[in-house]
Amino acid sequence: MSGIDLTRRQLELIAKLAALEPTLSFMGGYAEDALLAGRVTREHEDVDVVFPRDEQELRLAQLAELGFGEWETWGEAAPGVPFYLFGQNGGLKLDLGVSDEEDGKHWMRVHKLSFTVGDREAPAGYQLRMPDDLFDQPLVELEGIEIKTISPLALYQMRAGVAERNSFGPLSERQLAMLAQLRERFFPDRSEDELLPPCEPLPY
């Protein structure tokens, strides 16, 4: 499949995902494109979305209707409890993030990851506190499609917080450039250290 064809099909999928109710939030590269440019700026390997844990059953049922019925667990928030799921349908790749909420706070819990970094088990055993506005971002346009992304701060903190612990390996030059653009656009008066999310060890 050519890059142009894949992008077209990904945008068709994004339009279908954006039409789901309640509104589903996007993260990752397409969310960055939407917030920073309003258009696709490069080829993307996959589409990334995130939702609260209490929506998991609903979302998996909705996604099954779109052809995504089988999932691999690539990360657990607790033993047997996924926070990172991966699915495919006809060449389209979809990553799901599942956030936890406790006492009104949003958490990204990283108990275990199913891959290695540098031939070693990926670092885990912590939780990142996500900002209160995680799911409060107004709709933005991506190639004429209205989508809901997670907030710019959440988008920054997810990538930077995980990178700080090397759980997915070092960031690429492109990912570092995207973080710099988010910081310059949305938080020009805050340092990189100030923007790192609070992190705590998991109690299990």
From first to last of the 204 residues of the chain, give the pLDDT tens digit.
567 899 999 999 999 999 999 999 999 999 999 999 999 999 999 999 999 999 999 999 999 999 999 999 999 999 999 999 999 999 999 999 999 999 999 999 999 999 999 899 999 999 999 999 999 999 999 999 999 999 999 999 999 999 999 999 999 999 999 999 999 999 999 999 999 999 999 988
Q: How many CB atoms lie within 10 A of CB 194?
A: 8
Q: Which domain holds residue 85?
A: 3-201
Non-local (6+) Cβ contacts of 24 within 8 A are 17, 18, 49, 51, 59, 148
Number of domains within the chain: 1
Find out whether 110 and 121 touch, Cβ atoms under 8 Å. no
Are the C-beta atoms of residues 53 and 101 closer than 8 Å to each other? yes
pLDDT at 28: 96
Spatial separation of the C-alpha atoms in residues 169 and 56, rounded to whole Å: 27
Distance CA 160, CA 76 (A): 19
Closest CA to 175 of 82, 183, 21: 183
Q: For position 23, which CATH number holds? A: 3.30.460.40
